[in-house]
Structure 1
Amino acid sequence: MPKIILQGSWSHRCRSVLTLWATTVDVLARRAIGRPQVHGWTISFEIATLFYRKQFNHAFRLDNIAQSRAYFDSLYTIAEPDLPVRVQASTAQEPRGHWFIPEHADKTHTLLYFHGGGYAFYPAVSQHFIRLLAHRLQTTIFALDYRLTPEHPHPAQQDDAVQAYRYLLAQGLRPQDIVLGGDSAGGHLALMTLVRVRQAGLPQPALALALSPWTDTGRRGASQFGHDRYDMVQGYQTLRYGQWLKGEGPWSDAQLSPIAQDLRHLAPLYIQAGGKEILVDMIRDFAREAHRQGAQVRLDVWPDMTHEFHAYGRTLPQSEQALTALRSAMRWTQGESFEPLEETERDALDFSDGKVQSERLIKPV
């Protein structure tokens, strides 16, 4: 059963509870007259999406980033609590982060994971999502606690990521034993880390998994603002995150965006996105560009889903499909087949000239 966590100051908790209550009443009332936000959504998914949107919007109105982080963490939900995953903080000799070790870990891979949050947040709910990933993928995960903006602008995050990758190699892991992964800004960091690793003359990992990745720090695609009415994150927030990432430095969007990089000679890329999320157009643009440059890339899109729908686990069929596909992608690196999911008609992309070069629009089971 999903679980609700309350923490922090009474004022934050009270406001969050009232927001959740008001959102629930609004969703139920609209559905009673046949007006769901999206017909393919479950009631719980609609409530959660609209609730987190309100939470993010209020957090962005607060006076400072510390208060914003505290407020967002004051109430959150866990789709699958009490999973058999041991969480262990890194030692003083390791990069800052946490090890997530499932009860029956497959020793084939170690996943170096970068959390989302626009580079400015590391929400408490993110650690529970990483626990879910470790359990579902049956893979040991090192989740990097990289430095956050606006206190630490670029290149702090990329420096931290490359240091973590170097550390895993220094511990005896072979490149083919390592998978990079990340969601949202963490997907951005995973893609940029592949480029930095190549520039540093280091070997590429076996695979990169990018979940709803942020691929352009500027403006790109109609969905960035056109899907505000559906998504839990909003277009204006992406621009603020981009400003914080640049800080006072002389960085351009092209310098900081995966879509503008040289994407040749990178590890295979497996990308997942929701068709209703604000980033879906820039994600599709990135997949096209990666394919144009000769990268091995597969993009799966769930048409009715929003940003980071993966976190709902077994409570949402689309999330369950996505997690299963991530596991299949990792097994593909070991020579197993990566079977296509049930799909609708192909979208505009026609990636037909490679084993995993495609876009699929995925039906819920």
Structure 2
Amino acid sequence: MLLSHKLGGRFALSNVAQILSLALLFLAFPRVLRARDVIVIVFSVASVVLAAVHVAVTYGYRASVSHGLYFLVAAVYLLVVFRLSKEHGAGEAFLLGLRRAIPLALVVMLVYLAFDVAAGLPYPRLGFDDNSHTSIAACLLAFAALRFMRSPLRLLVGVSFFAISLITYSRMPFFFAPFFVVAFVVEYSKVRRRATEAWQVYLAHLLVGVTVLIPLVLARNASDLFGAVGRVLAPGDATNASTSAHLVLLSLGAQLKLENIGNLVLGITPGGFSGVIVASDVDLTTFAVRDPTAYSTMLEGSAPLHSTFGSIALELPVWLVLLLGALLVRTLYLLVVKRDVVLASFLVALIAATTFYSSHNELYFVVGLAMVTAAAYSVAPPPGTATTGRRPIESAQ
């Protein structure tokens, strides 16, 4: 997830690990997918191919094969995680692996940060090709640390990840902030509840004090690093123009979706926004005036819609959009029923943040969906199945 260096198109180093893990899962569970799963996959591919024919005939646009393959691998991966968690009791193992990776992820991010600071970058990206990607990935790990780490130090680790997200020049962390506060309070109450001796109570208070004070001290003494705070709190034409441009993009996407029945039903293929809209009848004059740089990128065919769910609604067949929406609602419902406040808060925050930013073509977004899927649909392993002896799918009590 953190090795986001692109090897070509949407294919990054992290995707190598994703493909290898998917191959290993199929080797371990060769019959994990049901017949109806295969039918859904085949029908989905056929729908996207039909959409590719539609945009080729209507707009002269050639669909992106790399985008299509990326989303196919991501969809199959999430479907496998869903089946293994719901029917094979493997969600525990998946989340245990995630828990073990959290300390390593913190080390990797700090190493990246050290290199970026040494290189004099004004807003560190920590190996990502965009600072907003960095911030969302760090927020994901902040919630994961609170949810899956066992030690009371999870409070400190979680806040450390969230502080890293604030170093970027991105407003994404502020979509997550109120939900992170809720998750933090819930986990702190659990740490406090476990304290049975007087020294444990004082230690719990000391830990939360240190956890809260460290970011404040850093922000005061290294305020130049915390670009996101300044961008949000300081009014400016650049911030207002960025927000306005995002809203205009969403409006353009809606116009393109409704331009003809083919776009409405079939979509315009994954990654097809820029290439299709410049060949459409949608008026781009307002956008060109508001954001000439983004307009130039759009003419080159590489400008995103800057909305994850807007892109999904625009680019994919309508039945897939409705299916994904139903699954997200169902997943959130199950997390609420299980009283998993941390992951329910994370899922709502992820949906809110990525509504105004394109994250669906990055692996951290897939990892985030896999995390909530494994937790929401996990069942106990079948009798006689070897287990870890731990319960990572349950919050630390």
TM-score normalised by L of structure 2? 0.33
Larger-Rg structure: 2
Query: Counting strand residues as a fraction of each chain, which structure ranks higher?
Result: 1
TM-score normalised by L of structure 1? 0.35
Query: Counting helix residues as a fraction of each chain, which structure ranks higher?
Result: 2
